[in-house]
Amino acid sequence: MKRAYRFCLLLYPRGHRDLFAEEMLHVFEQAAAGRGGDGWLWQFHFAFSEIAGLLSGAAEAWLAPKPATRVAGTAASYVPQELLEAQRRVDAKIAAMVQAIANHQFERARQLSDQERIARANLHALRQKYGDELGMSF
């Protein structure tokens, strides 16, 4: 099942895989290990729902609009890549936290909450840095 899951992750755009694949695989492994002995019917349901979720998520990732990199009304035309990556890290932590809560992994959700808080503080510092340097207001 893990091999099929990894294969389905290849359906996502490369940027999405680079940001989220490791975390998605980790959450999948935890969910599979947590209920591994519940019988073949549960395993079939689990496999079907995970694969269906991956397929719909991949389609959504391909169809979603690309993140905007232009900042209207600024002297600098583009947001620095470092700032975009910091925002993606915050978004990834939030998505992983939601997934952990949905799977009743509350201890993991608390850990992710702490990581998200740190990532958000880093994003705030970068916004101040680039806001000052480039005359942007965030």
Which of these, 13, 31, 50, lies nearest to 101 by C-alpha position?
31
Provide the number of structural domains found in the chain.
2
Structural domain of residue 57, as residue ranges? 1-64
Same domain for 72 and 58: no
Same domain, 52 and 101: no
Question: Is the domain of 58 the same as that of 85?
Answer: no
pTM: 0.46
pLDDT in tens, 26-74: 888 888 887 656 778 888 888 888 888 888 888 888 887 655 444 444 4
Burial pattern 96-126, b for ≥16 Cβ within 10 A else e, equals: bbebbeebebeebbeebeebbeebbeebeeb
Which DSSP state fits 136? -
Q: For 50, what's the count of Cα atoms within 13 Å in the CB-facing half-sphere?
A: 25
- The answer to whether residues 119 and 131 belong to one domain is yes
82 and 135 assigned to the same domain: yes
Q: Are residues 33 and 83 both part of a single domain?
A: no
- Residues 60 and 88 placed together within one structural domain of the fold: no
- Are residues 29 and 86 part of one domain? no
